[in-house]
Amino acid sequence: MAGDQLVTAVRRQLGLGRLLPLGGPADGAWIAERAAAGVLREAGDALPGLRVGTLRLSLADTVAAPDPAVPAPPSALPPGPLLIEADFAATAGRPVPASAGLLREALLTCAAERLGLEVSAVDLRATELLDERDLDAGEAEEDGGGGRDAFPDVPGAEGAEGATADDAGPLETAVLRVPGVVRLVPALGALSRPVREEDGHVLVQLAAAPDRRTLDVARAVRAAAEEAAGGQAANGERPTVAVLVAALEPAAAS
């Protein structure tokens, strides 16, 4: 049984991709690569005559990355500017360099304004020249459930049971009240708790709504968790708090 739980935990974390810094060193927030890549790919696919393929994110400079202000989640990348690498296909309606320029601008805008990622470079590679029939066929495949996800199709945060307001404690309740928080999810493994508090540090794992800037949600969660945990502490001191946004998903209809 323990072996099965370990395998499930490893496969779940692999499905998240890298744990990317969200914001800067002082923000104490991270986001799963899978969640960020999905939103970025949507921004690229919204451009006419263009389709994004594989999209990955990594640190632009691993040597110069500073230390975070709070303890990071297990295996998370240190804070620092990111590199976006993506393949794309485009129609002949515009020159390929022009398509690449539009895609680069769309990715940078989405990263900053929708997510709150600090991106210093975008590396694009044109892999295919499409005609309109190819593009229409690709869109039909996506509508039918097809996908171009670069990550393994394994149980990720989306498949984990999350804490709700009905079964949450004071700390979880404070986090769930933050606008933009959809639910709490034990994303880092089968034995993980969505809100872990130990040795004066709290790690919050959650799914956030995609219609709010993700960094703003994470900052609000940190403030709420610090306040709630400090109020419960015997000495009244607030702990350090880190936030992992494991998924971006719409809230369930009431």
Residue keyed to tokens 């708790």: 193
Confidence of residue 153 (pLDDT cuts 50, 70, 90): very low
For 46-67, the pLDDT digits (tens) are 999 999 999 999 999 988 888 9
| String of DSSP letters for 101-123 | HHHHHHHHHHIIIII---EEEEE
What's this model's pTM, rounded to 2 decimal places? 0.83
Residue 11 confidence (pLDDT): 45
Tell me: pLDDT of 142 over 70: no
Residue keyed to tokens 């779940």: 12
Tell me: pLDDT of 155 over 90: no
Residue 230 confidence (pLDDT): 77
Tokens found for residue 192: 């993980």
With contact defined as beta carbons under 8 Å apart, do 66 and 25 qualify? Answer: yes
Residue 93 confidence (pLDDT): 86
Tell me: pLDDT of 205 over 80: yes
What distance in Å separates the CA atoms of residue 117 and residue 18, rounded to the nearest whole number?
14
Tell me: pLDDT of 81 over 90: yes
What distance in Å separates the CA atoms of residue 133 and residue 145, rounded to the nearest whole number?
19
On average, the pLDDT of the chain sits at: 83
Name 186's Cβ contacts closer than 8 Å, sequence gap at least 6. 160, 161, 162, 192, 193, 194, 205
For 83-92, the pLDDT digits (tens) are 999 999 999 8
Tell me: pLDDT of 101 over 90: yes
What distance in Å separates the CA atoms of residue 195 and residue 21, rounded to the nearest whole number?
19
Lowest mean pLDDT among 3-12, 29-38, 116-125: 3-12
For 228-240, the pLDDT digits (tens) are 987 555 555 778 9
| Structural domains of the chain ordered from first start | 33-143 (3.30.70.1350), 157-248 (3.30.70)
For 163-199, the pLDDT digits (tens) are 555 556 889 999 999 999 999 998 886 556 899 888 8
Residue 132 confidence (pLDDT): 66
Q: Calculate what percentage of the chain has a pLDDT beyond 70.
A: 75
